Structure 1
């Protein structure tokens, strides 16, 4: 479903600040897999997502999505098939536009439609989908998104990302900026959405226990390479303590150890 063949990325090549941030790295995801991604600061997690999402072009290698070569597609073309939610709740929505307008834009972007969202039927569909969030947003459709809390905005961003189910959903520490209670609610909503829509999903997290508990498979990155790839019985038997004992140097940062 998603295939990365020996992709690599170097920042500031040929300068004193040259940094090989990724690879060569190869990876294959099956359709419907939910993969959690962990690693210390600077391990290459967000760089990997940026490569898949098209924030930059990789220097070497190939990226395939559902059999289609997207290696040189610009980010806006990939966004029709790849949904992404960032860590900052302010990044995924237009704050001066209403909830309804944000949902309309999300649909238009994925469907390349220009008339959706204006009719009564479409607005009712928006209301029904907003109601599934359990946050009362279905009664605030004409409210500017900038008036919502961080958790509400992140939940709305999730809904926008899957309004038209993407082939791949990338979650880049999407609960890290939220308070613990709100983060847990958004995470539960995320898991429910991924499961119900049978989405192929990759989620970066600094919470090791969540990484081993959620989804089907766990990857760990170090210096732009995959150093751990576990699933099934091996993953079920892995504990936080075992993982830390084996990779403490790679995971030795305050955010992970305090999680």
Structure 2
């Protein structure tokens, strides 16, 4: 479903601030793969997502999504087939618009279908059914402005917006990091259920090593702009936090000292 062929990105080249954010990364995802990505700050995780979603253009290499070369495709065109959630619940939705209006925008973006002036009963019922799957009571609050929702509720709505029309690829950029533990667990469970039900190819950045090993079917660890570990199958099934840290040490020749990851 997704193939990265040697993509690289350097910021501020030729200056004292030059920084190689991604270094010749190659990766292949099968349809339905759920890949968790871990790494310390500055490892290149979010930059990788920005390359895939079109926020930045690669310096070299290529990006193939479902057989189509999207390396130089505009970001707004990629948004029709790539869903993305951010760490900040305030991103990804319009706070001054109602839940049903936000869902309508996402539906139109994903399908190209014009709802027109005022939503019909058919669309409202469709949105209501989808919201009911979240089990948060939001199907009875469709006229509520998104800005009035809690962080967890808003992130759940944004997740629904990103998957209302099944995307070819779903990018989750620490989408539970800003939530309290109980709410984060609820949103993660909703995420897992939607991804499994729709068989969505997914990449999820997390600082929680345990979540990285429990969710999905594959775990990638990044360091200094490179993929240094790619664990799946039986190797991943028997992996523990301690073993993963040891693998990191062997691959990077240093000890992981990121408190956020170690304490998560």
- TM-score with structure 2 setting the length: 0.96
Residue in 2 aligned with 1:114?
114
Q: Distance in 2 between matches of 1:113 and 1:157?
A: 20
Q: C-alpha distance in 2, partners of 1:171/1:165? A: 15
Residues 1:32 and 2:32 are matched in the alignment: yes
What are the residue-to-residue correspondences of 1:19-168 with 2, within 5 Å?
Answer: 19-115=19-115, 118-168=119-169
Q: CA deviation at 1:121?
A: 1.0
Deviation larger for 23-32 or 238-247 = 238-247
CA contact (8 A) 1:21 1:223 kept: yes
Please say if residues 218 and 229 of structure 1, whose CA atoms lie closer than 8 Å, have aligned partners that are also in contact.
yes
Counterpart CA distance in 2 for 1:194 and 1:34 is 8
- Once the two structures are TM-superposed, the CA of residue 246 in structure 1 deviates from its matched residue by 3.1
Cα distance in 2 for residues equivalent to 1:15 and 1:109: 39
Is the CA contact (8 Å cut-off) linking 2:229 and 2:248 kept in structure 1? no
Question: Could you say which residue in structure 1 is the equivalent of 2:207?
Answer: 206
Cα distance per residue 1:127-174 (max 9 Å; x no partner): 111111111111111111100000000000000000000000000000
* Displacement after TM superposition at 1:250 (Å): 5.8
Tell me how many residue pairs correspond in the alignment.
259
Q: Deviations over 1:18-45 (max 9, x none)?
A: 0000021100000000000001110000
Give the SS at the match of 1:95.
coil
Question: Is contact 2:99–2:145 with CA below 8 Å preserved after alignment?
Answer: yes
Please state whether the residue corresponding to 1:41 is helix, strand or coil.
coil
Q: Deviations over 1:66-122 (max 9, x none)?
A: 010000001100000000000000001100000010000000111112226710011
| Structure 1 segments of 4+ aligned residues over 4 angstroms from their partners | none
Partner of 1:234: 235
Task: Report deviation, 1:245.
Answer: 2.7
Matched, 1:251 2:252: no
Alignment RMSD (CA, Å): 1.0
Report the more deviating stretch, 117-126 or 220-229.
Answer: 117-126
Instruction: List gaps (5 residues or longer) in structure 2.
Output: none
TM-score for both structures, normalised by structure 1 = 0.98
CA distance in 1, matches of 2:114, 2:177: 34
Partner of 2:5: 5
CA contact (8 A) 1:40 1:250 kept: no
Give CA deviations for 1:195-234 in whole Å, capped at 9, x if unaligned. 0000000000000011011100000001111100010000
Q: SS of the residue aligned with 2:221?
A: strand
Structure 1 residue 244, shift from structure 2 partner: 1.6
Unaligned runs of 5+ in 1: none
Per-residue displacement from partner, 1:41-67 (whole Å, max 9, x unpaired)? 100000000000000100100000001
- The equivalent of 1:219 in structure 2 is 220
